[in-house]
Amino acid sequence: MDLRFGEEYERFRDEVRSFLRESWPLRGAEAALSREEQEGIFRQRALEQGYLYRDIPHAYGGSEQPTDVLKDTILQEELAASGAPGNIRNIGPAMLAPTLIEFGTEAQKRRFVPPTLRGEMLWCQGYSEPGAGSDLASLQSRAVLDGDSWLINGHKVWTSSAHEAHCMFGLFRTEPEAPKHAGISYLLIDMQAPGITVTPLRQMTGGAEFNEVFLDDVRVPAENIVGRRGEGWKVSRATLKHERNLIADPQLLLKMFDGVVALAKRTLRDGRPAIEQHDVRQRLAELEGYFWSQHYSGYRQLTAAAHGQELKVMLPMMMNKLYSTDLMQRLTTLAYELLGDTGLVMPAPEEAGMALLPDAPGSWTAQYLFAIANSIAGGASNIQRNIIGERGLGLPRDLRPR
Amino acid sequence: MEFSLTEEQELLQETVRGFVAKECPSPRLRELFDAGEGHDAALWTGLAEMGLAGLAVPEAFGGAGLEVLELALVAEVLGAGALPAPFFGHSLATLALALGGSEAQRMSWLPRLATGETIGSVAFAEPGEAWDPSAWRLCLDGDRLTGAKRFAPHAHLADLLVVGIAGGGLALVEPRTGGVQIERVDGLDRTRPLAHLRFEGAVAEALAQGGAAAPRVRDAGLVLLAADAFGGAWTLLEMTRAYTLVREQFGFPLAQFQAVKHQLANLATDLEPTRALWWFAAHAQDHVRDQAERSAAIAKAHVTERAVQVARGALELHGGIGFTWECDVQFWFKRALFDRALLGSPAQHRERSARLAGW
């Protein structure tokens, strides 16, 4: 056992650090540009260094680096520590791009991946429907091939960022006669197309990051299908794997844990820092047990992945989403209790978003509420328990009515 | 980064696992549990022949020269088998001598301990859950020891006791030479008996570097308890899984019901990632010294508490039979309670880890 990354990797870490020191924040005339332009310039430079979009080929706008989970981890750690912008945190780069690389046609890759990586093409995900939540494969939104286009009618819900997205990737029933999993196709839709109506869903945080999307006689070119007709379920499974990794993000857990400790230090109870109180110390220390378990379990999974031995760690891998979201619930519960009566106040609009702002009390209120949404999104906790029970522990599958 | 076991470490576990399965299957374990001696001469000889009595004894003194991680890996397997053997106390006694003994003390004791012909153990606790070196009050007066210790594991078997003394040091006592009253405790965990000790002018010798060794021995002990609890909890999960697959109610195996499936999934998810927690703490003892103390405290508090949680769930899922003396669940349930309480409660170690973090 050796937790050092090794000389080659420590050299790599030094390179990354010195690049980050010199490149972010931007200096001179560039510092006067808008935040968005600055991020664009920085990302281009980081990309040229081979630090961003490492698993995407040059031809499609990535930096095409050899697969190396340890370098990926070092980059995530260093980018997070420096506050520099990393890969764009939209589901486009995180989920659609890898899916297209795996299943897309050459034309699709060339057309959609480069602008997605540059952040010029934002995506939303059209999966869930009012009648299809955990049982996603029962979805009813339909697409019918009509000449050289798909004619789409349906209703999607919980669609993050649909109000600002340029495109949607989504699942639609194209083979109504086929068994439910085999009748679905994966389509790419221009959100400007006539017939699309986006209605924001206001969340209990006050923010509105989700939407309903109504599709009425929307036309999409026939070539905008990813994979073959009826293969959409298989294609989407690959995407879902990326979504779960996005939710069970170790850097986010670290930021959250450190944030709760800092909150307990600056919160006063009876004139003294709350962290001096027995119950707070006990709970933080207990949470730390959970936190480091997940942290080192991540190292164990990383080591196995680096050796191509994922089979050895299938069980902990299946547990990542449930474990991380449960931990987020525990962490934000303590944070919210530390807020005391400050927690009676609605988060301000800038605090109500999905991103944690550790210094803003309202952001902890929002996170306390969001934590439950995280347990629901991307495969709800009870679905995860089924997966762990059935595939992990070898227990029988649920009985389903015929 | 290599956060995984080496082939040698995996082989070590496999060898011990094979030995436990062969030499101490469930019926034999039940006999030993009921007898309550926590020991079987043939089992201990078998462990010693595999080199486990001297696993962390330097090679120069006849041991295998391995580290706390290997001790913990063995503790996991012995915990998984609930093996009645003095491995825990004996291992801590060897560590105390290896880390804190003078050359003469090491020469005199380590070779005998390494072969297992001499059995060692530790006596740390004093009344009021005073397990920590900083809380020891027992006075060594010249070469005489007078006072009491509580809950010393396998003390009735020990040829050598490493005793915690006031000031946080350690002293060596040979209980068979007189001056030590050993009062057996009717303990919950009958695989590892405990005793209260009264020293009445017992002859004792201070361990040369006892003050430096004591916290390290404590930390290693915390890691071994965590590993033991983890191994036992996995056994309970396995047993419960098997039971819910065969026990039928309402015309189906219990595991068919989502309530049961989810309960098992929750227990497994609570437990499985903690493997990496105690691996790290064990590794830290020899290789990441600045995190050794804190990681051991966190691992002990967290893993043993999760293991007790698993044990309670396992019993519940066994239904009424799980509550009976007949059912094997109690072996590991009680072992988990021992692991949680020995060397101090989770609350004590959480407070210590909070202090160490500067909170």
What distance in Å separates the CA atoms of residue B159 and residue B161, rounded to the nearest whole number?
7
Phi-psi region of A195 (alpha: psi -120 to 50; beta: other; left: phi over 0): left
Residue ranges of A 353-382 with Cβ closer than 8 A to chain B: 382
The CATH code belonging to domain A248-392 is 1.20.140.10
Q: Check residue A88 and give its pLDDT.
A: 77
Both tokens of B228, joined, read: 């033991």
Selection from B62, B64, B91, B102 nearest residue B162 by Cα: B91
Q: How far apart are CA B114 and CA B90, in angstroms?
A: 10
Tell me the angle at which helices B289-318 and A278-306 cross, rounded to the nearest 10 degrees: 90
**Yes or no, beta carbons of A290 and B359 under 8 Å apart:** no
Of B6, B258, B276, the CB nearest to A300: B276
Give the integer Cα–Cα distance in Å for B122 and B91: 9
Cβ–Cβ of A300/B279 closer than 8 Å?
A: yes
Give the mutation candidate from B6, B9, B277, B294 for the A interface (greatest A CB count, under 10 A): B277
Q: What is the pLDDT of residues B267-295, one digit of tens each?
A: 999 999 999 999 999 999 999 999 999 99
Going by pLDDT thresholds of 50, 70 and 90, the confidence category of residue A69 is confident
> Which of these, A251, A307, A301, A237, lies nearest to A67 by C-alpha position?
A307
Of B244, B273, B350, the CB nearest to A293: B273
Cα separation, A252 vs A215, in Å, equals 35
Q: How far is B235 from chain A (nearest CA, A)?
A: 13
- Distance between CA atoms of B247 and B249, rounded to whole angstroms? 7
A-chain CB neighbours of B302 within 8 Å are: 286, 289-290, 292-293
B241 token code pair: 């899984």
Looking at residue A4, what is its pLDDT? 76
Flag whether pLDDT at A76 surpasses 90.
no
pLDDT on residue A249 = 78
Residue whose entry in the numeric block shows the structure tokens 């990441």: B288
Name the residue among B4, B6, B298 with its Cβ closest to that of A292: B298
In chain A, the residue whose alpha carbon lies closest to the alpha carbon of B298 is: A289
**How far apart are the C-alpha atoms of B84 and A166, rounded to whole Å?**
66
A268-269 and A225-226 strand pairing: unpaired
pLDDT tens digits, residue range B124-138?
999 999 999 999 999
CA angle A68, A73, A74 (to 5 degrees): 100
At residue B182, φ and ψ (nearest 5 deg) are: -110, 115
Cα A121 to chain centroid, rounded:
17
- My answer on whether omega of the bond before B253 falls inside 30° of 0, hence cis, is no
Pairing state between β B180-184 and B194-206? antiparallel
Pairing label, strands A196-201, A149-157: unpaired
Strands A184-190 and A167-173: antiparallel
Point out the catalytic residue in the list A78, A129, A209, A243: A243
Q: Quick check: A391 contacting B, CB < 8 Å?
A: no
Size (chain B), residues:
359
H or E element: which one contains A144? Answer: strand A142-146
pLDDT in tens, A275-334: 999 999 999 999 999 999 999 999 999 888 888 888 899 999 999 999 999 999 999 999
Contact B273 A286 (CB under 8 A): no
Q: Do B256 and A399 touch (CB under 8 A)?
A: yes
CA distance A362 to A370: 12
Does residue A7 belong to the interface with chain B, where contact is any CB pair within 8 Å? no
**Are B258 and A398 inside 8 Å of each other by CB?**
yes
Q: Which residue of B has its CA nearest to A392?
A: B265
B276 with A293: Cβ contact below 8 A:
yes
User: Is A386 an interface residue toward B (CB < 8 Å)?
Assistant: yes
Tokens 């850097």 belong to residue: A251
Of A281, A293, A394, the CB nearest to B350: A281
* pLDDT greater than 70 at residue A247: no
Annotate B259-292 with three-state secondary structure: HHHHHHHHHHHHHCCHHHHHHHHHHHHHHCHHHH
B1 near B61, Cβ under 8 Å?
no
Q: Please say whether the beta carbons of B292 and B215 come within 8 A.
A: no
Q: Above 70 in pLDDT, residue B217?
A: yes
What percentage of chain B carries pLDDT values higher than 70?
100
* Residue A81 identity: A
The widest CA-to-CA distance across chain A, in whole angstroms, is 73
Structure tokens at A280: 């707070």
d(CA A23, CA A28): 12
From the list A286, A292, A312, which residue is nearest B277 (CB)?
Answer: A292
pLDDT given at position A127: 94
**pLDDT at position B119, please?**
98
Q: B67 to chain A: nearest residue by CA?
A: A1
A300 in B contact zone (CB under 8 Å): yes
CA distance A147 to chain B (A): 47
pLDDT digits (tens, 9 = 90+) for A191-235: 999 999 999 999 999 988 899 999 999 999 999 999 999 999 999
Query: Which two structure tokens, joined as six digits, stand for A391?
Result: 């595939």
A5, A315, A394 member nearest B1 (Cβ): A5
Q: Which residues contact B335 (CB under 8 A, 6 or more apart)?
A: B79, B82, B189, B191, B192, B228, B229, B232
CA atoms of B126 and B148, how far apart (whole Å): 7
Residues B210, B215, B219, CA angle at the centre, nearest 5°? 135
Strand partners, B163: B123, B171
Name all domains of chain B by residue range, CATH numbers in brackets.
Answer: 7-87+103-115 (1.10.540.10), 120-210 (2.40.110.10), 212-356 (1.20.140.10)
Pairing status of strand B120-123 against strand B160-165: parallel
Residues of A in contact with B287 (CB under 8 A): 1-3
For chain A positions 63-82, those within 8 Å of chain B (CB to CB) are 70
Could you tell me if B207 and B172 are in contact, meaning their C-beta atoms sit under 8 angstroms apart?
yes
Q: What is the spatial distance between Cα A75 and Cα A69, in angstroms, rounded to a whole number?
A: 10
Would the CB atoms of A296 and B280 count as touching at under 8 Å?
yes
Q: Which helix (H) or strand (E) holds B22?
A: helix B7-23
Rounded to 5°, the CA angle B330-B331-B334 comes to 75
Judge: B261–A390 Cβ closer than 8 Å, yes or no: yes
> Helix B274-287 to helix B289-318 angle, to the nearest 10 degrees?
150
Residues of B in contact with A310 (CB under 8 A): none
Task: For residue B53, give every residue at least 6 positions away whose Cβ sits within 8 Å of its Cβ, in sequence order, or none.
Answer: B44, B47, B90, B94, B113, B114, B115, B116
Q: Which two tokens mark A78?
A: 């260093």
Alpha-carbon distance B134 to B168, whole Å? Answer: 5
Buried b (16+ CB within 10 A) or exposed e, A336-368: bebbeeebeeebeeebbbeebbbeebbbbbbbb
In this structure, the number of other CB atoms found within 10 A of the CB of residue A37 comes to: 12
The answer to whether residue A8 neighbours chain B at the CB level (below 8 Å) is no
- Is the pLDDT at A244 greater than 70, yes or no? no
Å between B271 CA and nearest CA of chain A: 9
| pLDDT tops 80 at residue A245 | no
State how far residue B270 is from chain A, nearest Cα, in angstroms. Answer: 8
Asked if B199 and B173 touch (Cβ cutoff 8 Å), the reply is yes
Architecture of the A123-229 domain? Beta Barrel (2.40)
Write the pLDDT tens digit of every residue in A296-307.
999 999 888 888
Query: What chain A residue is nearest to B272 in terms of C-alpha separation?
Result: A316
Residue B299 C-alpha, separation from nearest chain A C-alpha, in angstroms: 7
Cβ-based contacts of A399 with chain B (< 8 Å) = 252, 256
Residue tagged 């991946």 (tokens): A113
- Say if residues A121 and A100 touch (Cβ distance below 8 Å): no
DSSP state at residue A158: S
pLDDT of residue A243: 65
Instruction: Judge whether B194 and B152 are in contact, CB under 8 Å.
Output: yes
Per the CB < 8 Å rule, is A1 touching B279?
yes
| pLDDT class of A354 with cuts at 50, 70, 90 | confident
CB B266 within 8 A of CB A385: yes
Q: Which residues of B touch A264 (CB under 8 A)?
A: 359
With contacts defined as CB-CB under 8 Å, which chain B residues touch A323? 269, 273
pLDDT tens profile A49-60: 999 999 899 999
| Catalytic (active site) residue A243 | yes
Cβ density class A145-176: b for 16+ within 10 Å, e for less: eeeebbbbbbbbbbbbbbbebebbbbbbbbee
Name chain A contacts of B13, Cβ cutoff 8 Å. Answer: none
Residue A290 to residue B295, Cβ atoms within 8 A: no
pLDDT tier, A94 (very low <50, low <70, confident <90, very high otherwise): confident
Other CB atoms within 10 Å distance of the CB of residue A59: 12
How close does chain A come to B67, measured CA to CA in Å? 12
- Which residues from chain A sit within 8 angstroms of residue B305, using beta carbons? 286, 289
- Tell me if B350 and A1 make a contact (CB, 8 A cut-off): no
Q: Label the pairing between strands A167-173 and A210-221.
A: unpaired
pLDDT at B345: 98
Cα(B89)–Cα(B195) distance, rounded to whole angstroms?
A: 12
Nearest-angstrom CA–CA distance, A38 and A278: 46
- The answer for residues whose C-beta is within 8 angstroms of residue B342's C-beta and 6 or more apart is B131, B151, B153, B221, B225
Nearest to B4 among A300, A398, A399 (CB): A300
- Are residues B279 and A296, on separate chains, in Cβ contact within 8 Å? yes
Nearest alpha carbon to residue B181 among B198, B159, B163: B198
